[in-house]
Amino acid sequence: MMMGKVYLIGAGPGRLDYLTLRAKELLSIAEVLVYDALVEPKILELVSSKSLKIDVGKRGGLPSTEQQTINQLLVEYCLQGKQVVRLKGGDPLIFGRVYPEMRSLHDAGCDFELVPGITSALAAPLLAGIPLTDKDLGRCFAVFSGHDTNILDWGALAKIDTLVILMAGKSLGIIIEQLQANGRSSDEAIAIIRNCSLVTQQIWTGTLADILDQTDGVSLSPSIIIIGQVVNLRIMSDHLPLWGQTILVTRAAEQKSQFTNLLEAQGASVVEMPALEIRPPSSWQSLDNAIAILNQFDWLILTSANGVEYFFNRLATLGKDTRALAGVKIAVVGKKTAAILKHFGIQPDFIPPEYVADSLCDRFPENLEGKKILFPRVETGGREVLVKDLSQRGATVIEVAAYESGCPSKIDLRASMALQQHKINIITFASSKTVQNFYNLIQQVTNPLSLLENVCIASIGPQTSKTCLELFGRVDLEAKEYTLEGLTDAIINRLNNL
């Protein structure tokens, strides 16, 4: 049997972005995942769907898995020859209760590896713009837990320039009382950062005298508390324009969304909802026949990233490469389509400036009379306008099925819950088909159109907007440039003008 191994990994302060490269690599190969109450579900998506996932998270006030049980799980799966990832928030060796797990693994002869994570004790002040050290105001700092306030040496702690306190939401009043009793001024600066790094991050600043009034009635879990003069040095950079917005992105089931990366870079929290299933056509015959006579075509037109990938993958399956396109010019619709084409080492000869198929004919770079055009496309449900326009201008268009798209059978659980709990601020659609499929999927929920109340419906272009109007009765914004970048800009502009 292959030797098992356990990886004790820190997940960082919460956001997927702050996970280490080593942690991402190990999550991708995990056969068993034993994880705590992580703050961003996307981290769990890095693990294969075939892996066993065991939630042992400790949540305040709720029943939790006994530490001994966790130790046994790690040992048992390791001895079975499994690659086991033990995932904990922050850094595993800072208030992570990892030592008992290390001890149990060592005693059982199990191999293990420690992988550091960014602790919230350091990340929270940084993300709040607070320097933990300063040559004049903060020459040292101490990090401690607010759980057991009775055993702490408050006389010693009160003398330290800066204090960073974890798990102290419920004991804040006691901490303030003890510090003041041991000589700390009531005017001492304090900051509280809740849900650091997440879109729900909140920050309170004040003094030991007034912070309790500011946070009265507010749950401060999970939070980091910083006490010291360095809090007065706080400088925040401008907020990202989409900070605080939760955006639902409809996408193909098999594809990780480039759009998600664009939105998250602007501060948004993104929920991805698979609304398309891309699969091979019912028959390859028509595409294979066209590939066999590629040299007879003047132009190859590709209007989607899926069309590009399926066409070139089929070309390779038939034992051909890009040399088979010698003498054939290529027109593509959209920046993303062009970008995928470049992955195959080809630069398109023409991209219509409006990035939509409807403008391709109007801007075509040469007379179409007598031209023979190959158009690999979706098998069913595609629009006929492009073929009609090309044919009316004298071209002979050979349409072939390169792929098929359909609607998933079930609505994504995470997306469904976010909609039903009214956590979504904006829903984005990059094609008419995703609009139609989204509409079909939400019929599985009671009162489906109520899910869209107070939600902004964002469209990438005119045809997508038309479908939104037909099915939802409205569309709230449309990109001026019909690209994902254009849609991102349109969302930002709308929020700036509210």
What is the rounded CA–CA span in Å between residue 472 and residue 423? 19
What was the pLDDT predicted at 359?
73
Query: What's the CATH number for 280-406?
Result: 3.40.50.10090
Mean pLDDT of the chain: 92
Do residues 332 and 302 make contact, with C-beta atoms less than 8 angstroms apart?
Answer: yes
Q: Verify whether residue 36 is a known catalytic residue.
A: yes
163/360: higher pLDDT: 163
224 DSSP β-pair partners: 166, 193
pLDDT of residue 257: 72
Topology at the third CATH level for domain 122-233: 3.30.950
Q: Is 266 helix (H, G, I), strand (E, B) or coil?
A: coil
Catalytic residue among 88, 102, 167, 273: 167
148 is catalytic: no
Fold of 5-118: Cobalt-precorrin-4 Transmethylase; domain 1 (3.40.1010)
Residue 292 has pLDDT above 70, yes or no: yes
- Within 10 angstroms of residue 471's Cβ, the number of other Cβ atoms is 16
Q: How far apart are CA 18 and CA 10, in angstroms?
A: 10
pLDDT confidence band for 358 (50 / 70 / 90): low
Judged against a pLDDT cut of 60, whether residue 1 lies above it is answered with no
Catalogue the long-range contacts made by 478-485 (C-beta closer than 8 Å, 24 or more residues apart): 481/355, 482/334, 482/354, 482/355, 482/356, 483/334, 483/335, 483/336, 483/355, 484/258, 484/259, 484/262, 484/335, 484/336, 484/430, 484/460, 485/262, 485/335
Which of 130-139, 262-271, 350-359 has the highest average model confidence (pLDDT)?
Answer: 130-139
Q: Which residue out of 3, 24, 55, 58 is catalytically annotated? A: 58
Query: Is the bond preceding 365 in cis, omega lying within 30 degrees of 0?
Result: no
Q: Is residue 165 scored above 60 in pLDDT?
A: yes
- Domain 280-406 in the same topology as domain 246-278+408-496: yes
Task: Tell me: pLDDT of 2 over 90.
Answer: no
99 compared with 358, residue with greater pLDDT: 99
- By C-alpha distance, which of 401, 390, 402, 381 is closest to 467? 381
pLDDT tens digits for range 200-239: 789 999 999 999 999 999 999 899 999 999 999 999 766 7
pLDDT > 90: what percent of the chain?
A: 78
404 membership: H or E segment, kind and range:
strand 396-406
pLDDT at 302 over 70: yes
Asked if pLDDT for residue 130 goes beyond 90, the answer is yes
Q: What is the pLDDT of residue 52?
A: 97
DSSP H or E segment with residue 330: strand 329-332
**pLDDT tens column, 418-427:** 999 999 999 9
102 is catalytic: no
Is 177 in contact with 216 (CB distance < 8 Å)?
no
Q: What is the mean pLDDT of residues 90-94?
A: 95
Report pLDDT for 128.
93
Domain ranges across the chain: 5-118, 122-233, 246-278+408-496, 280-406
246-278+408-496 CATH, one of 2.70.70.10, 3.60.21.10, 1.10.600.10, 3.40.50.10090: 3.40.50.10090
Which pLDDT value is given to residue 62?
A: 65
Scanning 1-86, the segments in alpha helix (DSSP H) are 21-29, 67-79
What is d(CA 366, CA 175) in angstroms, rounded to the nearest whole number? 77
- CB atoms closer than 10 angstroms to residue 391: 14
